[in-house]
Chain A
């Protein structure tokens, strides 16, 4: 982040800013209008379960069309070529886990949080505490990734090069985001996601159609031009541009892919979205809509990424403020001048804002609903005090996110997201699958699989080359890594499945058959889910 280039590539900060402010004003208005009464816990956490499948589907894709996918993936494709494309494949395929295994069952079983499902037929307090721990850690990692993207984007958008100036703006963004959550709750946050996802889809579709037109509707011509403009040359289009220099890199890549495909449907803020619709059918419809919008988005991003290399050139992208993450904005400038750059940057910014708002909501819900109401108050909390705690938590988490964003400013966001996904896939997915589909699964098994996955994931990340001992590590200068893979998924996900199995088998405690019957019937049919 020390290399800077001439200002003209960043367009006009005034246009960028005004588009962004227009977005903030419009969404704030919508949030304000949408939330006349936000008084019950169901309103605050789940928007009263009143969204339709279509609305929630678009918001769901909005939750995942984050800065990481938009800026990170287009940048990764532009710079690393084929290996960047692999990310987008994983992120589309991943929705099948949500569709087939998790979504509908989760909607039927829980009310507000992941903890609701995990603790349904288990001992409430330890399981809820574990679920909340997992949610908080995963959300924190994911949030760091989003906020890290914010710094680079600001550099590009406003031409603010000093770290201090960027920190100031990250703070501003963070405060707006906390405001959304506090005022809007789930309803407001969902509307922000819907508006943002719509804008983002329109933007990338427009850019990719333009690119296709420019290259005579030949995908091959774009690829040709891109490989001429990249230091990788023809290798840009082949696997191995990023991963695959040696056996460890290849294994690392497999690990990453596993985390990508299993992680998404385990992210707490994505799972929580399923509670905003009235029933399982609408939950299914949301995933179908979400898949379509992902399909269009990632096809477009493939074009945008290669298009950025073709028209802007890899070298220019890498040396721009914001580095890799600036591929899409730079391409927008190349195509539509300062105005389009303004719109694209503002949308990217809005993306960060909206996703972080969703994350903050998920984390605060988990703390207030699982920890405060069920662990501390033993399930006897007054709903109004629960919401108060949720809002307070949102504030604290918002502040943490701002701090984290300032610290991690400049890291590649797609990479950070992959760590969060690995943690989510390790801590949440095995537990959710077991509790939904394995009759014998019990409290001990639940705790083992949550903590086993979360703990091993965290330990392996700390001692991985992602943190120390390589040129791209977060901590430079020291080397205490012993785990060879950057992404822990390949080890921690199977380990968590194993822990859940062993915990269940080794403990003598039988599962509660009554609760199991209730959960199974409820998860498959929805009987009893309308409390």
Chain B
């Protein structure tokens, strides 16, 4: 999806150094991190990542704290029997188990589809490639 911006000339580092941002100036051969940080590819990666992990973290923390607050302060609600001896609290707790795994699997899928390819693109641009 990044084929259009792959040309080195469109990168800010192009003006300062050689091809890509493989090395900063001359001696060390270290990648030019500031150029990478400014590149649109990296900004896209960062935006994608942050837009996933922060809302998701906020969601699971709120969901978990809801469970905790109900357990601490609304004993009647959590003690209500749903079926047999199983009450709301236990079901609520088991739901936390389910949502946790759902989030784990969603993130794995997201990272595999949206993050890893972008990281590879940046690796290529930076000239470090994959090992």
Contacts and interface: CB of A to CB of B under 8 A. Distances in A.
Interface of A: 82-83, 85-86, 89-90, 92-93, 95-97, 99-101, 218-221, 223-224, 227, 237-240, 243-244, 250-251, 253-254, 257-258, 261, 281, 284, 287-288, 291-292, 295, 298-299, 437, 513-514, 517-518, 520-522, 524-528, 530
Contacts of A89: 64, 67, 93, 96-97
A223 B85 contact: yes
Interface of B: 30-31, 33-34, 36-37, 42, 45-46, 49-50, 52-53, 56-57, 60-61, 64-65, 67-69, 71-73, 75, 78-79, 83-87, 89-90, 93, 96-97, 100-101, 103-105, 107-108, 111, 116, 119, 122-123, 126, 128, 131
B97 A522 contact: no
A227 B100 CA distance: 28
Contact of A524 (B46, B64, B75): B46
18 contacts: A82-B78, A92-B100, A93-B60, A96-B56, A100-B53, A100-B107, A223-B90, A238-B89, A239-B89, A250-B72, A254-B72, A258-B68, A261-B61, A517-B33, A518-B33, A522-B33, A525-B45, A527-B122
Nearest to A226: B85
B97 A92 contact: yes
B24 to A, nearest CB: 10
B115 to A, nearest CB: 9
Contacts of A517: 33-34, 36-37
Secondary structure call for the B interface: helix
Given A288-B104, A295-B101, A218 B96 contact: no
Contacts of B57: 96-97, 100-101
Nearest to B86: A220
Contacts of A95: 100, 104
A246 B100 CA distance: 30
Nearest to A528: B31
A281 B116 contact: yes
Secondary structure call for the A interface: helix
B42 A524 contact: yes
A86 B65 CA distance: 11
A522 B100 CA distance: 28
B14 to A, nearest CB: 17
Given A99-B104, A530-B131, A238 B79 contact: yes
Contacts of B53: 100-101
A392 to B, nearest CB: 35
Contacts of A99: 103-104, 107
- Listed from nearest, the 6 A-B pairs whose CB atoms lie closest are A220-B84, A223-B85, A238-B79, A518-B33, A257-B68, A517-B37
Contacts of B69: 254
A224 B31 CA distance: 64
A447 to B, nearest CB: 25
B60 to A, nearest CB: 5
Contacts of B65: 257-258
Given A291-B104, A514-B34, A527 B123 contact: yes
A239 to B, nearest CB: 5
B131 A250 contact: no
Given A100-B53, A527-B122, A86 B45 contact: no
Nearest to A513: B34
A219 B86 contact: yes
B114 to A, nearest CB: 13
Contacts of A93: 60, 64, 96, 100
A276 to B, nearest CB: 17
A146 B53 CA distance: 33
Contact of B97 (A220, A253, A281, A298): A298
B72 A244 contact: yes
B122 A85 contact: no
B100 A220 contact: no
A281 B72 CA distance: 38
Nearest to A218: B84
Nearest to B81: A237
Contact of A526 (B68, B105, B119): B119
Contacts of B71: 82-83, 86, 239, 253
B33 A220 contact: no
Nearest to B92: A89
Contact of A85 (B68, B90, B101, B105): B90
Nearest to A238: B79
Contacts of A97: 57
Contacts of B105: 288
Nearest to A92: B100
